[in-house]
Chain A
Amino acid sequence: MAVATAMAPDAGGQAPVSRGFSGRPRDRSVGDRLPPGQYLVHDFPVLSAGPTPYVPLDRWDFSVLAVDGSPLARWRWDEFRALPEETVTCDVHCVTKWSKLDMQWRGVSLDVILEGLDVDTAHVMAFADGGYTTNLPVGDATDGQAWIATGYDGHDLEAEHGGPARLLVPHLYFWKSAKWIRGLQLLERDKPGFWEGLGYNNYGDPWREQRYWGD
């Protein structure tokens, strides 16, 4: 259950500027490669809603679950790494306004994962270690738009960045690219995930600046 409260904006209006403060280096000069409101970073910020989970690879698995929770497919780590992988070069846009361009990810396309499965619903919920969830239309998870990524920039994905495997859906805000993903559950009806149920936009298109509920 979530409770929304409306707060009146500060009567004074603008916050006072602190002379000489500019914050971390923020580059907006890459023209039309940045969605509205974003700035470029050159590091890779770590933002988490909980402690970093550490799952031994011999206990890791990835599942696709039907609407009733029954497994449609399941891979252990060695089986998963045997699936065909791609290199994906993409830009990443976080709702907290940082963007990182031309990241090179290594991952398995969701088209490969869902191939041959009876995906008869329009929505899916990604679920991860630590209880994090995020929802997606199936149409945004297929046709070369989404991957389960196990590495980037030439190395394995570290735990703090979502390793051993995270979802990668670069055309949406990066909160949809769930860290520590363990599976996808088909949804009979769309329902909001961890952040979507607490004020964030249900879809999250950075190019239409769909950050929050109602945007």
Chain B
Amino acid sequence: MTSASALDGNALGGPLGELFTFDITSAVATCAGCGRRSPGAAWVVFVDAPGIVARCAQCERVQLRLVNDGTGRTWVDLSGIETLEIAAPRGGA
């Protein structure tokens, strides 16, 4: 799947970095649809509001969705991810 306007999961690092203490871009996700294992950075990402949508690069299934409602509340749907493998954080900046 390609879409000329799509970004990739590197764009999620900032918004998700406000929620999670681990780095989503290097975490390895298993797609609940096709089983593909890929780092979050390899997702195809659409950042136009109303919200952020990350899709599996192989099967297009939504992996993750995020909405910031501007009043300080954030909604996250992770149901497209079967598992997330998160490496130990690197010591140092």
User: What residues of chain A have their CB less than 8 Å away from a CB belonging to chain B?
Assistant: 1-9, 46-52, 95-96, 130-131, 175, 195, 197-200, 211-213
Contacts and interface: CB of A to CB of B under 8 A. Distances in A.
Given A7-B72, A9-B72, A47 B50 contact: yes
B76 interface: yes
Interface string B60-89: 111001010111111111110000000000
A49 B51 CA distance: 8
Give 3 closest A-B pairs by Cβ, nearest first.
A199-B75, A51-B3, A47-B48
Nearest to A175: B50
Contacts of A131: 61-62
B33 to A, nearest CB: 11
B62 A8 contact: no
A95 B49 contact: yes
A197 B51 CA distance: 12
6 contacts: A3-B75, A3-B76, A5-B76, A7-B72, A47-B48, A198-B51
Say whether chain B's binding surface is mostly helix, strand, loop, or mixed: loop
Interface of B: 1-3, 5-6, 18-19, 44, 46, 48-51, 53, 55, 60-62, 65, 67, 69-79
A199 B78 CA distance: 14
Given A49-B46, A200-B67, A6 B72 contact: yes
Contacts of B19: 5, 7
B71 A48 contact: no
Contacts of B61: 131
A197 B67 CA distance: 10
A95 B18 CA distance: 23
Given A2-B79, A51-B3, A198-B67, A95 B73 contact: no
Contacts of A48: 5, 46, 48
B67 A195 contact: yes
Contacts of B18: 7
B53 A49 contact: yes
A95 B50 contact: yes
B53 A50 contact: yes
A6 B68 CA distance: 10
Given A48-B46, A195-B51, A200-B67, 11 more contacts: A2-B79, A7-B18, A9-B71, A49-B53, A50-B53, A51-B2, A96-B48, A198-B75, A199-B69, A212-B73, A213-B75
A153 to B, nearest CB: 22
Contacts of A6: 72-73
B1 A51 contact: yes
Contacts of A197: 77
A1 B69 CA distance: 18
